[in-house]
Amino acid sequence: MENEELIFKLANGMAGFGWLLLLLFYKRPGITNLLVWIIVAALCVLYSTLIFKTLQPGDWKSFTTLEGVVSLMSVPGAALVGWIHYLAFDLMTGVFVAVNGQRHGVRFILLLPCLLCTFMLGPFGLALYFLVRWYTTGHYFASNYQAA
């Protein structure tokens, strides 16, 4: 348990530092490379290491029902793995929002609420970015991914 608390604090610190860098220096060349290739990658490696140490072969079927997921998340090691999953994906999503917004000329003042919501509320922040980008550019985000 003591080890899990240390890992929790380390992962939170890494993600928090990453978000701080993203919010302060998002326009700086190379900052997104640093965030993705160092911080997000480290969180992914930590997650990958812990997921196979924490979950037993029989635990995987717990993901097929809500009751199973709730039961699994009541185990501190599994909750830690789930939390690191959120940290990695939310930060990666924040990097995406910052880079994509910059690429499409969305002003930072409009990106800031999207980034803060992504930091705290994950998918809600991404949905807010989709709306902001659509409002700002007149193009729905999914138009980037139409088949040729």
Are the C-beta atoms of 86 and 121 separated by less than 8 Å?
no
Average pLDDT, integer, range 15-30: 93
Query: Which amino acid is it at 86?
Result: Y
Interatomic CA distance for residues 140 and 135, integer angstroms: 9
Interatomic CA distance for residues 78 and 106, integer angstroms: 38
Q: Is 148 helix (H, G, I), strand (E, B) or coil?
A: coil
Give alpha helix (H) positions in the chain. Answer: 2-25, 31-34, 41-54, 66-73, 76-103, 108-121, 123-137
Q: What is the pTM of this model?
A: 0.88
For residue 12, pLDDT beyond 50: yes
145 band by pLDDT with thresholds 50, 70 and 90: low
Q: What is the pLDDT of residues 46-88, one digit of tens each?
A: 999 998 888 777 777 777 888 988 888 888 888 999 999 999 9
Can you give the pLDDT at residue 144?
60
Interatomic CA distance for residues 136 and 8, integer angstroms: 38
Q: What is the pLDDT of residues 81-125, one digit of tens each?
A: 999 999 999 999 999 999 999 988 999 999 999 999 999 999 999
99 Cβ neighbours under 8 A, 6+ residues apart: 32
Rounded to the nearest 10 degrees, the angle between the axes of helix 123-137 and helix 76-103 is 10
Interatomic CA distance for residues 78 and 67, integer angstroms: 15
Number of H helices, E strands in the chain: 7, 0
27 or 48: which carries more pLDDT confidence? 48
Which residue ranges make up each domain of the chain?
Answer: 2-104
